[in-house]
Structure 1
Amino acid sequence: MTQPIISIIIPVFNEAAIIQTAIERLKDNQDVEVIIVDGGSQDRSVELVLAMGVSFAERGRWGDGENKLKLMIASEPGRAYQMNAGAAIAKGDILLFLHADTQLPANYQSLILETLSSSQVIAGAFELAIDSQTKSFRLIETMVNLRSRLLSLPYGDQAIFLKKSTFDKLGGYPNLAIMEDFELIERLKSHGKIVIASAAVLTSPRRWQKLGVWQTTAINQLIILGYYLGISPTKLRNFYRQIGRNKKF
């Protein structure tokens, strides 16, 4: 029996500091296709990706159709658009959406196949671990993993995965300025179970470190509340960016 192919889609924007490490971790994995979708980086991200022997997509045509490492330049900015663009050209049976600063567990392939083998399961994700010894992060991890399991509500940094046929049937990620992963999971929940695999991804603490652990947590909850109250995703994104600009370093 042929092993299902997993297409790993990595949306990228100004990730020159880490993108080669992210690709290096995945490039030798069997039965895996890696698609990097750049959203208009202004640093050396694209140059560094191409330096690793990645095929470049220009106007939808691949230089080497058999290369398992592929780079796509999105025609529009925005994470949702980038992930949908990557999914559109993916050849895999299963899609895995991965942040560039997140590392998958060693046995991620078998866990994904096991999770999706049940007819009742429509999608999955991993538990979250944060790459820092700071004690406050242990509480964040506990909160995230409880939310994920009790509410079936993982977020994008937990590496959401599902069958490509399911993704296509639902129309992919909604093209929102923010909260696109939240909205996709809510739609998926009405069609089947969301399962959290019994292993954790390891993600960078950088987004919490930028504004502070508890400030970031509070802001995230405010954005979720605002989304529930009907505030437009564009306004919520601008609110988040404004806070980041006003932060003194």
Structure 2
Amino acid sequence: MISVIVPAHNEKVNLEALLPKLSQLAAGFNVEVLVCLSKDNADDSQAISGFEMVKYLCCEKKGRAVQMNKGAALAKGEILVFLHADVKPPIDFFSDIKRTIENGNDAGFFSYKFDKESFFLNLNASFTSKESIFTGGGDQCLFIKKSVFETLGGFNEKQVLMEDFEFFKRMKTLQVPYRIVKNDLVVSSRKYQNNSYLRVNLTNFLLVLLFRLGLAPEKLKRLHNRLLRLPYQHKPQKI
């Protein structure tokens, strides 16, 4: 079984697009989808019905790491897939995951493109198909054997920002074999709707640099919120 874990905070609009797509792609595979709602989710996301494979979990504490860990703990699958609600999977999503694991990898990520055509966004996306300082970000959709995830201790719930990079750092330390699948996910560009391209990229670079230098998670989060205009718009994507 493959367990898709979707951390969500007021993502009903995106979930209404994502869940039918996952249901369609899951045909012929043994898949469950765990939508892990944040403690203060307020948009009635759990009212989306009609999908037997989907289960909703409500978290008692805040934080995306908390949400993903809860999903992982209750997942029945041997493979865990951590997918953001505003990221859309490609047609061969599940076969790519299955093939990657069967070929001797314990984990993997996907390359991606943005949902908006732009020279600069295309330039950003081009780096996701190869190893770079940004490898391991949540938009790349980590998939991993559940046994390996548990050996690594799951996501660090004290890492309130960049929990995905922190987890990937531990993966690298323990030399977990992984592969970047070159089959693009479609990632939302909503962050760029309220912030300029330069602002977002300089902020991302600064946060990654400070993370690598060991800046405390709470300070990273405060800096992120100070530099980028929030909230991002939650717009559905065409599939």
What interval of TM-score do these two structures reach, taking the shorter chain for normalisation?
0.7 to 0.9
Aligned counterpart in structure 2 of residue 6 of structure 1, from 2, 5, 12? 2
Scaled by the length of structure 1, what TM-score is found? 0.84
**Residue in structure 1 matched with residue 212 of structure 2 by the alignment:** 228
Matches within 5 A, 1:17-36: 17-28=13-24, 29=26, 30-36=29-35
In 2, Cα distance between equivalents of 1:113 and 1:236: 35
Instruction: Report the more deviating stretch, 95-104 or 67-76.
Output: 67-76
**Residue in structure 1 matched with residue 47 of structure 2 by the alignment:** 50
Q: Offset at 1:41?
A: 4.2
Q: Offset at 1:118?
A: 3.1
SS in 2 for 1:142: helix
Percent identity for Structure 1 against Structure 2: 31
Aligned counterpart in structure 1 of residue 167 of structure 2, from 184, 187, 191? 184
Considering Cα pairs closer than 8 Å and 6+ residues apart, tell me whether 1 or 2 has the greater RCO: 2
**Residue in structure 1 matched with residue 194 of structure 2 by the alignment:** 210
In 2, Cα distance between equivalents of 1:92 and 1:99: 18
In 2, Cα distance between equivalents of 1:171 and 1:159: 18
Are the equivalent residues in 1 in contact too, given 2:5–2:68 (CA < 8 A)? yes
> 1:86-140 deviations in whole A, cap 9, x for unaligned?
0000001100000000011111111111111233x22101001111112211111
Q: Offset at 1:48?
A: 3.7
Q: Offset at 1:34?
A: 0.3
The gaps in structure 1 that reach 5 residues or longer are 55-66
> 1:12-54 deviations in whole A, cap 9, x for unaligned?
001122121111111242311000000034432xx24333146
> 1:63-91 deviations in whole A, cap 9, x for unaligned?
xxxx4210000111111110000000000
Q: Offset at 1:156?
A: 0.8
Describe the shift of the 1:150–1:194 C-alpha distance in structure 2 as closer, same or farther (beyond 3 A). Answer: farther
Provide runs of 4+ in structure 1 moved above 4 Å: none
Are the equivalent residues in 1 in contact too, given 2:203–2:227 (CA < 8 A)? no
Structure whose CA Rg is larger: 1
The gaps in structure 2 that reach 5 residues or longer are 232-239
SS in 2 for 1:77: coil
> 1:153-209 deviations in whole A, cap 9, x for unaligned?
231101110111111111111111111111111111223222101211111111232
In 2, Cα distance between equivalents of 1:210 and 1:245: 6
Q: Which amino acid aligns with 1:182?
A: F
In 1, Cα distance between equivalents of 2:20 and 2:181: 23
In 1, Cα distance between equivalents of 2:139 and 2:114: 10
Q: Which amino acid aligns with 1:18?
A: N
Matches within 5 A, 1:98-247: 98-119=83-104, 121-146=105-130, 149=131, 153-175=135-157, 176-189=159-172, 190-245=174-229
Scaled by the length of structure 2, what TM-score is found? 0.88
Instruction: Report the more deviating stretch, 230-239 or 17-26.
Output: 17-26
